[in-house]
Amino acid sequence: MDCLKDVITKTYGNDVNVIKRTPVSGGDINRAYMLELSDGSKVFMKSNRKSNADFFRVEAEGLSAVRQTGTVRVPEVIARGEDGNEAFLLLEYIASGTRSRASSEELGTDLGLMHMAETGSLVRNGTCGFTGDNYIGAGYQINTPKDTWTEFFIECRLIPQLERAAVYFGRDERRTVDAFLNRIDRYLAEPVRPSLLHGDLWGGNYMIDTQGHPWLIDPAVYVGHAEADLAMTELFGGFDRTFYDAYRNTAGIDPDYRDRKDLYNLYHLLNHLNLFGGGYLYSVKSIINRYV
């Protein structure tokens, strides 16, 4: 792969170089910077150890999948590369603006349109899944195509996380987990249409630009039930009533979604349990016990 200097000159011209690298606050996985170039351009850069370059490959694939829907805005992928022991991803730089009622409404509308977009090219030999595995935060996310959402959610979302979390459960609790897995298919419902999901849609994974338009960032995409995205927006907050009203008016929300919401969020709570430790264990056990 090209080093940073070569990527910049290939993209912006032989006379262009980086004149300033400013750290930017962001997630806990990658380092982030704003690069100022000698031609006045600004570029957003994520970097990590070379051994973690796969994070950037799948992020680029996810952003491309969302962009192909022609609905919600996502940053353009400029390039990936490696520089010494560092891997990097260059993205379009988006200057931050102020959230407003209009931006919330636009985000709800655009997400609803994304959830209604065609997904046939994104899954081979199934209706749910993705063209390859990726990551949910730092956690590995299995996207093996399945014929039904129920099968996919149980086999590719809950079971892998529950297996990783087995150390937190005693013998009796493991029997409860088995009973839970044997019962949850009666709660899950198949979508009217499979949807491309952002996959990690908490309040920190969208931003508003200086024109007031919303952008999705840091995707963990796959094709599944739109309700799974909607549920995560409620897990940690950051989305207001205007957003939900706009989404409902665009894509609709099944009244029974409330009965399934916590099941979808169990996946994210298990992922947090496996990544960050026992602080999420009470919430995980509460949801499991509720559905047994």
Return the active site residues.
Answer: 200
Q: State CA 248 to chain mean position distance.
A: 21
27: β partners: none
